Amino acid sequence: MKPFAWLIAVLTCAGLALQPTSVHAQTKNEAPRNRRVAGNLEAFKPGQVTTKGMVTVEGEPINYDTYAGTLIVHSKGWNQNSANTAQCPTLPRGEASMFYVAYFKSGEKSEDRPLTFLYNGGPGSSSLWLHMGAFGPRRVITADHTQTAPAPYSVANNDYSLLDVSDLVFVDAPGTGFSRISGKDATKAFYGVDQDAYAFAEFIRQFLSKYGRWNSPKYLFGESYGTTRSAALANVLITGRDIDLNGVILLSQILNFDLSVDDPQYNPGIDLPYELALPTYAATAWYHHVLPNAPQNLDPLLTEVERFAMGDYAQALAEGSALPAAQRDAIAAKLHQYTGLPVAYIEKANLRINGGEFEKTLQGAEDMTTGRLDTRFSGPTLDPLSEEAQYDPQDAAISSAYVAAFNDYVRKVLKYGEGQTYKPEINLWMAWNYLHQPPGAHQPVPQATNVMPDLANAIKQEPDLRVMLNSGYFDLATPFYEGIYEMNHLPIPANLRGHIEIKHYESGHMVYVHEPALKALHDNVAAFIRATDNPKAQ
């Protein structure tokens, strides 16, 4: 070791090593950034607060025990072969304190109760949306398809909580909610497709041990990017942890990012996003009464549009610049009939309209922007001259209610979070590592994220596994027909395709915002769990 290197190493371990002067140096008023004191990481201790409650689900009272707390998980290889761990054995390479709220029905044997892990997506979203909007014992009441008035917000008994059929664990991804990350290369350690799935697998393994739930029927419930997580996570649990699952429940699915309609213009030659979004365009135009000769019912229209999207429209787009002018005009006229967009606009867009363009243009004559997460929502256009929508009206209409309701609930009812900041969402799009190593690959594959192979491998490795897809007709973030396409293209044997169940709702990305859809979602998911929880009596 070089002279004085031993001293530098000791000072580094103690968090006392001298740092070079910099214009970016920390001032005395800034919060410490991962500062270590005597080898300990701040706020990275597992904890738990226990409370009790009661919820009435569709007329039946249910008493439950609540556990709000954190578990500490480490990144893959955190304790292996590192110069830092050699000189600083207590310095982890990547560590996360993952926050959860668990609801267990009181007085029930753990092996008799299914256990469902629930999380939202983003990436970078906490679980408060599913918690306060869908299946927790309390639900925030928001306007169905318009702006929710400012506080005070109404929080009521959730008649559609899933506690009637399953114990529930709402989990905040690393860095979101009350979850935190730290250690060497913490961002790289947790912010990526595979890193995230590994962390959740570690969390679930620890949770099963802590609460004695190894023998419970187990389910994953992910929304949006949470469905991406679920596909990767299911494969990690089944093939890497020997943790079988009874079911994987997907809400607003995206498994193959090449199919997203958000920015397909940057991926020319891949026309599927335009085709798979067309049924949602039609449903939205039908809802807003801008279709010429609109039918009375939505379902027949969608059947017709789906046939056109994968038939004449797909063939026309495949022709590219070789498409004859007469055929191009005919396709543009048909798209006008199904979307309500002007023919001239459709032709100028080369028959290809992305999601943001559709949202901005559909009600552009009224200077109104159509929602992305839920196209039933509308809001004033921020810039009438913009090419695409510049915000999401549904996000603007309801987010404050969810955030306020959860912050109030977690502190006053669950008695957790005093002195802490709850992070509903963090911006991870630039930091996230989308490279993914699918089953059988020797390294991450240099392509858009696609976890369809992971879900397929999980199904083949655990042939009793059941999958349920739930989608809203008015969702442009993850169009419903995209989910159907992905399910139809999973590389699984024909005899296992019957293990996939698909349900649709007249709602958007957050299906549960529309109360009739929430009731239907609860009833469908409850039936799915009852049919797959493998009771001993069978």
Residue 61 within a domain: yes
Does residue 363 share a domain with residue 332? Answer: yes
Does residue 100 share a domain with residue 247? Answer: yes
Digits of tens for pLDDT over the chain (538 positions)? 443 333 333 333 433 333 333 333 333 333 333 333 333 344 488 889 999 999 999 899 999 999 999 999 998 876 653 444 444 555 546 789 999 999 999 998 888 899 999 999 999 999 999 999 999 999 999 999 999 999 999 999 999 999 999 999 999 999 999 999 998 788 999 999 999 999 999 999 999 999 999 999 999 999 999 999 999 999 999 999 999 999 999 999 999 999 999 999 999 999 999 999 999 999 999 999 999 988 999 999 999 999 999 999 999 999 999 999 999 999 999 999 999 999 999 999 999 999 999 999 999 989 999 999 999 999 999 999 999 999 999 999 999 999 999 999 999 999 999 999 999 999 998 899 999 999 999 999 999 999 999 999 999 999 999 999 999 999 999 999 999 999 999 999 999 999 999 999 999 999 999 999 999 999 999 999 999 997 654 4
How many of the other CB atoms lie within 10 Å of CB of 209? 11
pLDDT at 79: 62
Does residue 357 share a domain with residue 242? Answer: no
How many of the other CB atoms lie within 10 Å of CB of 57? 20
Residue 458 within a domain: yes
CATH (domain of 70):
3.40.50.1820
Residue 343 within a domain: yes
Does residue 487 share a domain with residue 468? Answer: yes
| Rounded alpha-carbon distances, angstroms, from residue 121 to 145, 172, 229, 243, 251 | 22, 10, 8, 22, 10
Where a domain ends, among 368, 394, 420?
A: 394
Tell how strand 247-253 and strand 218-224 pair up: parallel
Does residue 281 share a domain with residue 424? Answer: no
CB 213 within 8 A of CB 181: no
Does residue 98 share a domain with residue 64? Answer: yes
Residue 290 within a domain: yes
- How far is Cα 118 from Cα 223, in angstroms, rounded to an integer? 8
Does residue 283 share a domain with residue 237? Answer: no
Summarize pLDDT for 385-433 with one digit per residue, the tens.
Answer: 999 999 999 999 999 999 999 999 999 999 999 999 999 999 998 899 9
CB 41 within 8 A of CB 95: yes
DSSP 264-289: GGGSTT--HHHHHHHHHHHHHHHHTT
Residue 39 within a domain: no
pLDDT at 429: 84
Does residue 165 share a domain with residue 71? Answer: yes
Does residue 379 share a domain with residue 251? Answer: no
CB 110 within 8 A of CB 216: yes
Count of structural domains, the chain:
2
* Spacing of C-alpha 74 from chain mean position: 22
Q: Torsion-angle region of residue 388: left (phi > 0), alpha (psi -120 to 50) or beta?
A: beta
Residue 357 within a domain: yes
Residue 287 within a domain: yes
DSSP 510-536: SGGGSHHHHHHHHHHHHHHHHHHS--T
Residue 32 within a domain: no
Where a domain ends, among 394, 418, 451?
A: 394
Does residue 93 share a domain with residue 186? Answer: yes
Summarize pLDDT for 51-76 with one digit per residue, the tens.
Answer: 999 999 989 999 999 999 999 999 88
Does residue 352 share a domain with residue 296? Answer: yes
- How far is Cα 130 from Cα 154, in angstroms, rounded to an integer? 17
- In single-letter form, the type of residue at position 33 comes to R
pLDDT at 1: 40
pLDDT at 33: 35
List the domain range (segments joined by +) for residue 511: 47-80+88-258+399-532
- How far is Cα 442 from Cα 454, in angstroms, rounded to an integer? 14
Where a domain ends, among 331, 362, 394?
A: 394
